[in-house]
Amino acid sequence: MDSVSLKGRKNGYEINLNANANFDDNITDLLNLLQRLSQSEQEDHGDLDFFLNTGRRLLDEPQIQRIQALFDKFQHFKLAHLAADVLDKSQAQTQVRKQGIHAEMSVIRSGQEVVYESDVLFLGNLHAGGVLKSTGSIFVLGQCEGILYAGYPDNDMAVIVGDISQATQVRISDTIEIIDPKRQHFSKDTIALINDLHVLDFDTSDHLLALRPKLYRKMEDNL
């Protein structure tokens, strides 16, 4: 039985490699399959995209290069995507981290920059000159005198919730607001977010469900 199987797709072919088979067998069978396809496909169809799935096997770099070398032998075949059904441990941990809320309780001092790839519940002390940066949202319960940067670098849906009256700046995605507590009123219920006009705006947390329903549900799931 061949260790590779072929499926047609609207925009090319999907090839599944049987993860239980020896990898060398995968390579031999894949070469045979590509040769057969090359003979049957007419050249005037243009380039054909291939989506390769390795199932429950994770390939290392030399193995990926061997597969790429096979496709390079055929002028009109292009390896468009290579994927597996599994993740290695560190990738899985990163994904879990990104989905959860990280509680940060430390002092972030002048000149220090702390970066998280998740939402952050900030309970510590952010000094003037320090930066708390997150790819997700930031929920402030501590004291902030530095720069809060949510949605780094381009997550427009991120928000900053809490008392930001002492912060130097808040930044979300590519927008920046210099905080001036004399002109703006802030409280522990303040939300900073990017509005429909792509302007950094402020609201109150009772509107969070209406403004960011996905974030609200995510928070409910996490708590």
Partner 1 sequence: MATSLVITSGKGGVGKSTTAANLGTALALMNKRVCMIDLDIGLRNLDVIMGLSNRIIYDIVDVVMGRARLHQALIKDKRFDDKLYLLPAAQNTVKNIISPMNVVDIVNQLRPDFDFILLDCPAGIEQGFQNAIAGADGAIVICTPEIPSVSDADRVVGLLEQREMKLAPRLIINRINRSLMNEGNTMDVDEITKHLSIGLLGIVFEDSNVILASNQGTPIVMNPDYNASQGYRNIARRILGESVPLMTLKEHKPGLFERLFGKRSRKH
Per-residue interface string for the shown chain with partner 1, residues 77-116, x marking contact by CB under 8 A: ------------------------------x-xxxx----
Judged by CB under 8 A, does residue 125 bind partner 1? yes
Judged by CB under 8 A, does residue 16 bind partner 1? no
Specify the stretch interacting with partner 1 by CB under 8 A; choose among 7-15, 38-46, 124-132, 206-214.
124-132
Residue number, 146 or 151, with CB nearest to partner 1: 146
Residue number, 16 or 125, with CB nearest to partner 1: 125
Return the beta strands (E) in 84-223 as ranges. 101-104, 107-108, 113-116, 119-122, 125-126, 131-134, 138-140, 143-144, 147-150, 160-162, 169-172, 175-178, 190-194, 200-204
SS3 content of the chain, % helix, strand, coil (to 5): 25, 35, 40
Cα-based angle 147, 185, 189 (whole degrees, multiple of 5): 75
Token pair for 181? 């507590």
Q: Smallest distance, Å, CB 109 to partner 1? A: 3
Distance (Å, whole) CA 194 – CA 211? 10
Judged by CB under 8 A, does residue 129 bind partner 1? yes
Q: Smallest distance, Å, CB 169 to partner 1? A: 16
Q: Smallest distance, Å, CB 125 to partner 1? A: 7
Are the C-beta atoms of residues 73 and 89 closer than 8 Å to each other?
A: no
For binding to partner 1 (CB under 8 A), which residues are involved?
A: 107, 109-112, 125, 127-129
